[in-house]
Amino acid sequence: MQTPNPNERTGNGDASRSSQRSAEQFQEKAKETARDQATAGAERSKDAISKTASQSAEALNQAASSFSEQGQTSMADTTSSIAKNL
């Protein structure tokens, strides 16, 4: 009986390389999908935060106007400054 030589090519080598390429392609596709989903999630979060900041700034500007109408200039100035920085 002859001992198999590990250096000799068998039919399994091609199948193994093919499986490895398939696994690498699958892994790359999974990375790409995860990256795309993370980017989309970050964009949605950024948009939501931006919208909330704009709404808050508008509310602060309305409050500043109200303070100004009531003669509370210090509060109006402070509130307006916060709205601008927001």
pLDDT in tens, 34-44: 999 999 999 99
Does residue 5 lie in a domain region? no
Tell me whether residue 53 is in a domain: yes
Domain with 28 in it: 12-85
Neighbours of 79 (CB within 10 A): 21
| Ranges 10-19, 41-50, 66-75: which has the least confidence | 10-19
Collect all residues with Cβ–Cβ distance below 8 Å to 86 and sequence separation of at least 6: 53, 56, 57, 60
In a domain, 1, yes or no: no
pTM for the structure as a whole = 0.59
In a domain, 37, yes or no: yes
How many domains does the chain fold into?
A: 1
User: Does the pLDDT of residue 20 top 60, yes or no?
Assistant: yes
Structural domain includes residue 26:
yes
pLDDT band at residue 3 using 50, 70 and 90 as cut-offs: low
- Note whether residue 2 is domain-resident: no
